Structure 1
């Protein structure tokens, strides 16, 4: 399929769970620590992505592939669409890459594959893509949302404890069905 470029979306993805949910889970009634909690939700969401190998909430990501005419797997999954194209020459100068020069395939598991056949002399194609399990926190699978909320609460209550390896077992159990491991 030939690539068609969609308009760019928001720059920052929304929180995977609301502050009110985390505050209710922690039984916090004031707004004194809202900024801290929002940061912990963002951290928990990033850790969820690292554990599952999937972007939880749809957001824009920049990816680069060689402009060699071969198919290359795009890292962010599940891929939804490409929102922009650009490129670089071998000397590192900006080069225009039109959407017609890029082919895109999205497989059944949400992995994106792209190839660039540049007419402009670009050595690298720079793509802006949107990837994510859900457009907003309401669409996330409940186990993924619960894991993010519980991990944010865990980080809040254990903020002075020594670092652990990986999420607590109960949270890992919630996320494990969505985990995608790749061999490289």
Structure 2
């Protein structure tokens, strides 16, 4: 899975919220806060199993003829853009729409089924995924947990203490669990 980076706008918004927790004014330690924000957002996504702010994702999957449904790695899926055939030799090519099927289920999981791969041994599926279109649209508990984690990382640079338990408590209701043997419904 290849995921585009967290947008500078999301990082800036997270830093702004963390500044409120830290009671910092001005632009003091901006570069450090931006790195901590990127880290906190990445940790929140790993914990919840969800991309927080919508961005582009590409998965490379096997393309067995008449294969079954395959689950895309990122969630929640907002839209599946297209499928490219990846042959062992030669240039990638666009698979025609009748050569594959896509679905986004009720849990916002994306699924792809390659029906006629042609010369492709693998396929690259491009899609967008994310819980919110921008930082302001995130559920408040997730944004608050990210800001608290940034503040903790900023204040605890040398001590190495564990993050506050409140961070996990804020994120836990949004955690997506995946079973390894999931099948398309």
TM norm structure 2? 0.84
Could you tell which deviates more after superposition, 50-59 or 24-33?
24-33
Partner of residue 139, structure 1: 137
**Aligned-residue offset at 1:23:** 1.3
**In the aligned structure 1, how far is the partner of 2:143 from the partner of 2:28?**
24
Distance of aligned partners of 1:129 and 1:153 in 2 relative to their CA distance in 1, 3 Å threshold: same
- Calculate the aligned-residue CA RMSD, in Å: 2.0
Does the CA-based 8 Å contact 2:52-2:138 persist in structure 1? yes
> C-alpha deviations, 1:90-121, integer Å up to 9, x for none?
x3543313251331111111111111234531
**In the aligned structure 1, how far is the partner of 2:155 from the partner of 2:84?**
44
**Aligned-residue offset at 1:124:** 0.6
Partner of residue 54, structure 1: 50
Partner of residue 25, structure 2: 29
Report matched runs for 1:45-124 at 5 Å: 45-68=41-64, 69-89=67-87, 91=88, 93-100=90-97, 101-124=99-122
> C-alpha deviations, 1:143-166, integer Å up to 9, x for none?
0010111111111111222364xx
State the aligned residue count: 172
**Aligned-residue offset at 1:38:** 1.2
**Aligned-residue offset at 1:47:** 0.4
> C-alpha deviations, 1:20-46, integer Å up to 9, x for none?
222122111131311111111111111
Partner of residue 10, structure 2: 15
What secondary structure sits across from 1:153 in the alignment? helix
Could you tell which deviates more after superposition, 94-103 or 140-149?
94-103
Does the CA-based 8 Å contact 2:84-2:94 persist in structure 1? yes
Could you tell which deviates more after superposition, 101-110 or 52-61?
101-110
What secondary structure sits across from 2:10 in the alignment? coil
User: Does the alignment pair 1:181 with 2:177?
Assistant: yes
Does the CA-based 8 Å contact 1:86-1:97 persist in structure 2? yes
| Unaligned ranges ≥5, structure 1 | 1-9
Partner of residue 42, structure 1: 38
User: Does the alignment pair 1:169 with 2:161?
Assistant: no
**In the aligned structure 2, how far is the partner of 1:99 from the partner of 1:159?**
52
Distance of aligned partners of 1:18 and 1:162 in 2 relative to their CA distance in 1, 3 Å threshold: closer
